[in-house]
Amino acid sequence: MSDPFELPDPDEPDFTRAPAPRAGGIAARARAAMGQPRYLEVLNPEQRAAVEAVDGPVLVLAGAGTGKTRVLTTRIAHTIATGRARAHEILSVTFTNKAAREMKERIGALAGEVAEGMPWLGTFHSIGTKILRRHAELVGLKSNFTILDMDDQIRLLKQVLQAENVDEKRWPARQLSILIDGWKNRGLEPERVPAGEAEAFGNGKGRRLYAFYQERLKALNAADFGDLLLEGLRLLRDNPDVLAEYQRRFRYILVDEYQDTNTVQYLWLRLLAQASPDRPQRNICCVGDDDQAIYGWRGADVDNILRFDKDFPGATVIRLERNYRSTGHILAAASHLIAHNEGRLGKTLFTDGVDGEKPTVQGVWDSEEETRVVGEDIEQLQRRGQSLEDVAILVRATFQMREFEERFVTLGVPYRVIGGPKFYERAEIRDALAYMRCVAQPTDDLAFERIFNTPKRGLGDAALQLMHEHSRRERIPLMLAARALSETEELKPKQRQCVRALMADFDRWSSLIDVKPHNELAEMVLEESGYTDMWQKDRSADAAGRLENLKELVRSMEQFPDLASFLEHISLVMERDTDSGEQKVSIMTLHAAKGLEFDTVYLPGWEEGLFPHQRALDEQGRAGLEEERRLAYVGVTRARKQAKIYFATNRRIRGMWQTTIPSRFLDELPADHVDVVEAASASYGGYAASRFNSIDSFASTYNTPGWQRAQQRNAATGARSGATSGFGASQRRSGPQTIEGELVAKASATSSFQTGARVFHVKFGNGSIVGVEGNKLTVDFDKAGRKMVLESFVQKAG
């Protein structure tokens, strides 16, 4: 664990002189080997050029799977080995903690102990925090400021809205938080927000609300995520001496995923990278791929990468196009698809590897069939001995995940969902953290507000109101106000007693901070406050899991030297723990998949409206479409050996069945490199039925023999396509009459099972039926709890 405050100061009188090599350090070793360091030998010519172009501005356009991380890490090692800079003189920023961790590990493998001394390798936010804490007073904070999560942020905004008499129903705090985040991402302080935008919220009060919120943050000695960047920028902009200090310190700057930088991040980097008297060379190296820019919707600006050479004239641009991940057909498909985008810097991936199998496109009747077909396919892979770790399902939207989960539960295929609520976002974790925050910092009003009545202590809104009033009147933190109130007659006697007891508890816990190991203290706080008890008494299904999470939290505290550093990390870094060693299929969104790779990738839901998503088109127009297309590109390029694309003819959207049109992206795949799968099931015909019947179907440019065969088949069999479907006709809005007829017959068919009957399931054991819906049964299993299972998977119990 490195601390910026204890770093050796890099400000030596003579900067041009190479630092003295540390005995046994990478520099020494590299020089000893001289000439041809091993780490350079393993690179291809372009990678090597990217590593060796150390001085001056460099843009590395690294296509998917071209060894980007290798280049970044080798570059760092090389910069150090050639004596250009020491580890603490290199600023290296990433977007996610995962990326930062990975880089640290790989530098460690490459350069041994040097990586330990890379204090400035981290996410934009963590580095921003580090700098901000050092100079907090310059932006009106104290160095121990708290970092608010979204929950806190919204609660605070609610208070702001109330104080300003804005109708919370018309102008929800959530929406305001999104607005403010957006402004902060664009580097806009309240006074700089364009008038029109600011007035659009809260009857023209947008700017005032934003400004007031910032005031409240300062009063609470708190910063939200956006502030970590925006205040960091303001700090550098308004304090030339501070800026100069960091410009001097960071002799080399590296940026990962440059295409995802937003405006504040861009401005911040540009300030730091500016030429200065101490450092005439602007040694900044940005690595990215404009084709993988998929975060425009949260403020990332692809233009940052597109105009790099204008920001840094004379920049060296290096393209990495040799792909080491995917087969030829997969690359060809992805390249052809992304070529439909305009405004690219342009790259063409190639591989020396095999052509491999062509990506497949398969039409299915509905989402149910989609999950079934994918599920069966995965079982087949499994039988052939492929590890499920190498299999992923990448969806556009999270609602698609649930159906796959249900299917896998039915089939008994182990899976994991990546993404979803983070460990520290769970209510019980936040509550526990709030307790610890109160113990560590009695001035943390938001934390206190969160837990003062959790577990229930008979202190409600009225009590909170009183405390707030008192706190404002006396200008003291909430907890002190509570303490003061407990000595007056204002609270009911019972409440007074409660508050007094709680304060006594906090006093006791706080006094133990330096005495007791912090994980033991945490356990004690959770016990004595009655919090653990609350969940033990809770009879809901997830209570046990929550208790388990709390234990996990306490366990994880051991890795940190003290409570303060634990709290610092939890808000910025903590992630959900990886699970057991069992091999599992991964289910995640396309966004979450960036940077990952799998042998086999399933890409379901390629339909107009879902992918590309209608809202992206409506709200962002052409830019939205191009971002969706990049998302498709990201999806396909995740596959090493096999990419399987699906589209359903019918999908339930907002509870209503809708006939859908295959995604335009399908037509943008090169016919020569894609196989259209003719499903064994007759329901494939459903696709053509929808396409030919659909009102605004667009012209297909598809001409492969397989495609034409499929269409001919549809002409013949399309009419009975609904036979395999299990959903009710009444829910359908349009479609061929015959299909409706068959569906009615199917839907009205009664199950041979009845509510109350006892059944047996191979995986879940015995249980009682509590509901019947078509061929699906809801069963309360004696051991496994309530599950929905297909009728065909259970037997009547003896």
**Among candidates 347, 357, 304, 298, which has minimal Cα distance to 326?**
357
Q: How many CB atoms lie within 10 A of CB 217?
A: 22
Task: Output 28 or 464, the one with its CB closest to DNA.
Answer: 464
Q: Which residue type occupies 339? A: A
Please pick, from the candidates 414, 419, 670, 706, the single residue that binds DNA as defined by CB under 7 A.
Answer: 419
Q: At what angle do helices 240-249 and 263-273 cross, to 10 degrees?
A: 80
* Catalytically annotated residue among 79, 153, 261, 292: 292
Please pick, from the candidates 210, 225, 250, 258, the single residue that binds DNA as defined by CB under 7 A.
Answer: 225
For the CB of residue 456, give the shortest distance to DNA in the complex, in Å: 4
Structure tokens at 146: 């708290």
In the window 600-629, what residues touch DNA (CB under 7 A)?
Answer: 613, 615-616, 619
Q: CA-CA distance, 233 to 183, in Å (whole number)? A: 14
Task: Output 226 or 328, the one with its CB closest to DNA.
Answer: 226
For the CB of residue 232, give the shortest distance to DNA in the complex, in Å: 12
Q: Is 290 annotated as catalytic?
A: no
Write b or e for each residue in 448-463: b if 16 or more Cβ atoms lie within 10 A of its Cβ, otherwise e: bbbbbbbeebebeeeb
Task: Output 121 or 572, the one with its CB closest to DNA.
Answer: 572
In the window 643-702, what residues touch DNA (CB under 7 A)?
Answer: 654-656
In the window 371-400, what residues touch DNA (CB under 7 A)?
Answer: 396-399
For the CB of residue 349, give the shortest distance to DNA in the complex, in Å: 24
Task: Output 293 or 525, the one with its CB closest to DNA.
Answer: 293
Helix or strand (DSSP H, E) at 470: helix 461-474
* Catalytically annotated residue among 29, 69, 82, 704: 69
Q: CA-CA distance, 674 to 654, in Å (whole number)? A: 32
| Contact range with DNA by CB under 7 A, out of 90-98, 214-222, 672-680, 774-782 | 90-98
Rg (CA), the chain: 30
Please tell me whether the peptide bond between 561 and the residue prior to it is cis, using omega within 30 degrees of 0: no
In the window 286-315, what residues touch DNA (CB under 7 A)?
Answer: 297-298
| Contact range with DNA by CB under 7 A, out of 82-90, 92-100, 210-218, 662-670 | 92-100
Please pick, from the candidates 474, 575, 577, 780, the single residue that binds DNA as defined by CB under 7 A.
Answer: 575
Task: Output 458 or 741, the one with its CB closest to DNA.
Answer: 458
Q: CA-CA distance, 58 to 60, in Å (whole number)? A: 6
When asked if residue 200 is in the footprint of DNA (CB under 7 A), the reply is no
Task: Output 38 or 615, the one with its CB closest to DNA.
Answer: 615
| Contact range with DNA by CB under 7 A, out of 9-17, 94-102, 275-283, 716-724 | 94-102
Please pick, from the candidates 283, 341, 549, 589, the single residue that binds DNA as defined by CB under 7 A.
Answer: 589
Q: CA-CA distance, 424 to 431, in Å (whole number)? A: 10
Q: Decide if 429 contacts 553 (C-beta within 8 A).
A: yes
Q: Is 377 annotated as catalytic?
A: no
Task: Count interface residues toward DNA (CB under 7 A).
Answer: 40
* Catalytically annotated residue among 257, 260, 366, 607: 257
Tell me which long-range contacts 302-311 makes (C-beta under 8 A, separation of at least 24): 302/259, 302/343, 304/258, 304/259, 304/261, 304/266, 305/59, 305/258, 305/259, 305/261, 305/345, 306/343, 306/345, 308/57, 308/59, 308/258, 309/59, 311/270
Task: Output 251 or 396, the one with its CB closest to DNA.
Answer: 396
**Neighbour order of strands in the sheet with 121-123:** 121-123, 90-94, 252-255, 284-288, 58-62, 316-320
Q: Is 274 annotated as catalytic?
A: no
Helix or strand (DSSP H, E) at 660: none
Q: Decide if 292 contacts 261 (C-beta within 8 A).
A: no
Q: Is 257 annotated as catalytic?
A: yes
Please pick, from the candidates 18, 22, 38, 98, the single residue that binds DNA as defined by CB under 7 A.
Answer: 98
Q: Decide if 291 contacts 338 (C-beta within 8 A).
A: yes
For the CB of residue 318, give the shortest distance to DNA in the complex, in Å: 27
Give me the phi and psi of 778, to 5 degrees please.
-100, 125
Please tell me whether the peptide bond between 612 and the residue prior to it is cis, using omega within 30 degrees of 0: yes
Q: Integer distance in angstroms from the first to the last C-alpha of the chain?
A: 62
When asked if residue 492 is in the footprint of DNA (CB under 7 A), the reply is no
When asked if residue 572 is in the footprint of DNA (CB under 7 A), the reply is yes
Binding mask 727-746 for DNA (x = CB under 7 A): ----x---------------
* Catalytically annotated residue among 256, 403, 607, 628: 256
| Contact range with DNA by CB under 7 A, out of 54-62, 317-325, 339-347, 589-597 | 589-597
Q: Is 256 annotated as catalytic?
A: yes
When asked if residue 95 is in the footprint of DNA (CB under 7 A), the reply is yes
Task: Output 460 or 765, the one with its CB closest to DNA.
Answer: 460
For the CB of residue 788, give the shortest distance to DNA in the complex, in Å: 11
DSSP 512: T
Structure tokens at 288: 């990215």
Please pick, from the candidates 276, 316, 453, 768, the single residue that binds DNA as defined by CB under 7 A.
Answer: 453
Binding mask 397-416 for DNA (x = CB under 7 A): xxx-----------------
User: For residue 17, what are the contacts with CB-CB under 8 A and spacing of at least 6?
Assistant: none
DSSP 596: -
For the CB of residue 737, give the shortest distance to DNA in the complex, in Å: 22
Q: Decide if 466 contacts 485 (C-beta within 8 A).
A: yes
What is the per-residue DSSP string for 608-640?
TBBTTBHHHHHHHHHHHHHHHHHHHHHHHHTEE
When asked if residue 126 is in the footprint of DNA (CB under 7 A), the reply is yes
Please pick, from the candidates 310, 456, 475, 733, the single residue that binds DNA as defined by CB under 7 A.
Answer: 456
Task: Output 223 or 331, the one with its CB closest to DNA.
Answer: 223
* Catalytically annotated residue among 68, 70, 251, 641: 68
In the window 510-549, what residues touch DNA (CB under 7 A)?
Answer: none
For the CB of residue 459, give the shortest distance to DNA in the complex, in Å: 6
What is the per-residue DSSP string for 732-744?
B-S--HHHHHHHH
Q: CA-CA distance, 519 to 559, in Å (whole number)? A: 10
Please pick, from the candidates 70, 125, 207, 372, the single residue that binds DNA as defined by CB under 7 A.
Answer: 125
* Catalytically annotated residue among 86, 251, 594, 638: 638
Task: Output 406 or 599, the one with its CB closest to DNA.
Answer: 406
Residues that bind DNA (CB under 7 A): 95-98, 123, 125-126, 150, 168-169, 225, 297-298, 396-399, 419, 422, 453, 456-461, 572, 575, 588-589, 591-592, 613, 615-616, 619, 654-656, 731
Q: Give the catalytic positions in this structure.
A: 68-69, 256-257, 292, 638
